[in-house]
Structure 1
């Protein structure tokens, strides 16, 4: 696997997504596994896929695991249904799923505040057969406004993410402009300015977008970045994406936030997939 040039990763703040990496360990052992690999920051999809409101003991257990490992949680999804799986969010799905999202808003925001997490990702829901897309979009805006207000109370941003059409054909936000449009609507509705774009380079590339162009156009509205190579959604160097160049483009465009490692480890243990990243670049400074 190709090793990134030191200059390409110097001073970036990398975090590891513990919902796609280190999943060979139980949830509460993953922060320590990431720390053993040299990382001090992690992110998570909502870990309790069956419920928006886990028992307090489960929240306390995850909080303790993060603290004991010396890892900071820098990104957390709101409840989004089954991930990985067919569901791609809940907030725009009428009925039980959007109610579950609403029930999760204060719980997720409160947990984020308790661990110093300042970014909450709110995944749109898939289009539902027989429901007017405009109705789903109206519901989405209502719920995103609620989420943005809750996030603002704890000093956090709300992220809106583009996924990719080949893997998520019913997900409506499959271009950077579609997600940024939602971000702008949320900020206009709340006046808070704390909705941001989650720029995932893998998803953009799968959609055939001009990644460099998206970076140039959207860096100022970006609140978080995620990377994986393409094809395969593997570690940098396993595919053909010029990820080092894209990181440099992000730097030049003024983005200086977190870069989440959201790739699949393949047939290797997760700890063996970081040889592309110099050890000194793994601990956030």
Structure 2
């Protein structure tokens, strides 16, 4: 496997789901990793303080670094894919932003993924786009205070999520840059989503290498660990490395068996060694 300069983290919202959420950071550590990422780990946009404290304690007790965190994204199991572009949920999203920035300050996490949100049938797309711009600007301003970056990604699947290609996602970044001079946004290159949506991934990595703030991987078909499908992840990660990417590569796959056995493709000595480094790849 190439990418000796790349650093790998475990997405504990999709891996180790056989364990309670607060036990997953320690499981990642036991598997040899010292960095993790999560989707929004709570049911509510602003959960009780005790839940947040327990989450922070689980990270600290496991001695792992949080390197990626999603903003609240609605009911993910129910098909929601973010609320950034939903006018009726802007207040909820903005309350969540403040909490995300606090968690970032407490953990050193500097990369925050903002899922754009599905199209809503009775709301004009232009209204949703205006809402998204305003909410992304708000989020970027909030995390800028801690040196953070807001990430935007393309997503696959049946839901009416409008950002399907790298070009779709980067166009949102460009809009924020041109209209509001906001620079702490970056593209989250999920190599699985891009592949199954039909994007030309090598071309994407060439054209947008300097816009990528975080990378996530899974093989396809199946969304399982590398080596179970047909994506040339070796080649794509090598291309990223040659282009100068030195950020995190999030393992965001559904293990085909027990989570701890799904890392055989990555030698144990390659799993750690990143927790004391800065997130220079965060855009």
Does the CA contact (< 8 Å) of 2:3 and 2:241 recur in 1?
A: no
- The superposition leaves residues 159-206 of structure 1 with CA deviations (integer Å, 9 ceiling, x where unpaired) of 001002xx1430000011110010112233443410000000000001
- 2:107, 2:201 → 1: CA distance? 32
* Bigger shift: residues 51-60 or 187-196: 187-196
Give the paired residue count: 274
RMSD: 1.1
Aligned to 2:279: none
Match of 2:120 among 119, 128, 136: 128
Aligned to 1:66: 59
Aligned to 1:186: 176
The answer to whether structure 1 residue 217 and structure 2 residue 207 are counterparts is yes
Does the CA contact (< 8 Å) of 2:5 and 2:241 recur in 1?
A: no
Unaligned residue ranges in structure 1 (runs of 5+): none
Does the CA contact (< 8 Å) of 1:88 and 1:168 recur in 2?
A: no
Q: Secondary structure at the match of 1:226?
A: strand
Aligned to 1:282: 271
Aligned to 1:84: 77
- The superposition leaves residues 212-236 of structure 1 with CA deviations (integer Å, 9 ceiling, x where unpaired) of 0000011100100000000000000
TM-score (norm 1): 0.94
Aligned to 1:271: 260
Q: Secondary structure at the match of 1:276?
A: coil
Alignment of 1:102-117 (within 5 A): 102-117=94-109
- 1:54, 1:186 → 2: CA distance? 29
Q: Secondary structure at the match of 1:259?
A: strand
The answer to whether structure 1 residue 242 and structure 2 residue 232 are counterparts is yes
Aligned to 1:198: 188
Question: How far does residue 10 in structure 1 lie from its aligned partner after superposition?
Answer: 1.7
